[in-house]
Amino acid sequence: MGAAQRAVRGLVAVLGCTGLGVLLWAAVAPDEERRKEMAKEHPKSSPEQRTERQQQNAIVMAAIKQAAETNENVARKEWPWSK
């Protein structure tokens, strides 16, 4: 009987702490409008940043493609390298 009571008390304590945590999270979490505002204010969301990132990705992909077309170990070559 004592083990069952301890198990029930433990379960109630865990559920109570979890419920309290969820309530606190809901109280301090921003609403949908605030989340949209925060996303707009994010520095990486500007069009200039996106185009710069796309250019960097294109350079990296070109280097990967060039490395895939050769049988040499390109990790040991001096940069910039070509076939």
Query: Does 66 or 19 have the greater pLDDT score?
Result: 19
Query: What is the rounded CA–CA span in Å between residue 83 and residue 76?
Result: 13
pLDDT at 35: 85
Query: Does 17 or 71 have the greater pLDDT score?
Result: 17
Q: What is the pLDDT of residues 4-62, one digit of tens each?
A: 999 999 999 999 999 999 999 988 988 888 888 887 777 666 788 888 889 999 999 99
Query: What is the rounded CA–CA span in Å between residue 46 and residue 51?
Result: 9
Query: Does 78 or 53 have the greater pLDDT score?
Result: 53
Residue whose structure tokens are 């969820």 = 22
pTM for this entry = 0.42
pLDDT at 23: 93
Query: What are the residue ranges spanned by the domains of the chain?
Result: 1-30, 43-83
